[in-house]
Amino acid sequence: MALTMGEPGGVGAEITVRAYRALQDEGLPFYYCGHAGLIDDAARLTGMGVAVIAIEGPEQATAAFAKGLPVIDMPLAAKVTTKVASPAHAPAVVCSIEMAMDHALAGRASAIVTNPIQKHSLHQAGFPYPGHTEFLEARAGAGKAVMMLEGAGLRVVPVTIHEALRTAIARLTPALIEETGRAAALGLQRDFGIKSPRLAVAGLNPHAGENGDMGDEEERIVAPAIAALRATGIEAFGPLSPDTMFTARARAGYDAALCLYHDQALIPLKTLAMDEGVNVTLGLPFVRTSPDHGTALDIAGKGIADPGSLIAALKLAAKIAAHRETSA
């Protein structure tokens, strides 16, 4: 598996060395596409004593993993300042993602796992995509990709992602919800072996509109999308009141929740599984996961970053990759 560098000023290298130490005996080898100096610094900071093993390609990673963390070294254009996300590092951050992606597309890597990026600094450097998901979808050119987050027995799929709430609501259409639901159902079948995925679809307004008393988007936009999904054989139901659809009893009744905007999906997921949540991109021709947290600039350099979400992301990537291989 290929692990990308992420934002150099954040906690990516710290959680990488901790994840290596946790997984080195579990038969889940991965290699790091990024600046070797970040790993050296993180190993000293955390006291992990992780050695950097320079490799030239993914084929050397498995043999090297027993000795240390395999790294395909990438230079940085500027000095790294811990806790600071610099646009000067944007080309290397993007190059790391592209390298991992190219390896996966060529069948040289079983999956890619992405360390957190700082979107604002990338945008300052001219990166035109809202985040990883949209970039991977565009570069893969393989159709609709959707972001799904998983943890603590909950899976959530946001229909709109990294955009202002006002913009997200204005963009909602039956077609967009249906397209996202189709991609989610196909991804659950392909990557998780769920033959008939059950999709719970959230309403937009309080109490899912209360029969139109609190808004009519459920009737105009959400209900037609659900009907269209059901017409294709997908078990979708709703619109459900967002304030009750994430209880333990409600969660037992579906395989994934289709949510209409970013926070509607991520607040319950992060509340339940902040330290073990995983971001999965469904619909790509390769497996991609990532930790369900950001660059954590505020704690970078303190040696206290929790690697739990990255470890979960690496394990889930390996599991999905194995499932794809056996079901091909």
- Has 180 been labeled as part of a binding site? no
Edge-to-edge order in the sheet of strand 52-54: 52-54, 69-73, 31-34, 2-4, 112-113, 288-291, 278-282, 146-151, 154-158, 256-259, 198-202, 235-240
288 labeled part of a ligand binding site: yes
Question: Is-contact 197 207, C-beta < 8 A?
Answer: no
Known binder of ligand: residue 133?
yes
Alpha-carbon gap, residue 129 to 120, rounded angstroms: 11
Read off the DSSP letter of residue 24: T
Q: How far is CA 62 from CA 57, 58, 138, in A?
A: 11, 8, 30
Is 205 known as a binding-site position? no
120 in a known ligand binding site: no
Q: Is 262 annotated as a binding residue?
A: yes
Answer yes or no: are the C-beta atoms of 160 and 172 closer than 8 Å. Answer: yes
Consult the annotation and say whether 123 binds a ligand. no
Beta bridge partners of 113: 3, 289
**Residue of 11, 16, 8 lying closest to 96 (CA atoms):** 8
Q: Which residues are annotated as a binding site for a divalent metal cation?
A: 162, 207, 262
* Known binding residues: 132-133, 162, 207, 262, 270, 279, 288
Task: Detail the residues annotated as belonging to a binding site for substrate.
Answer: 132-133, 270, 279, 288
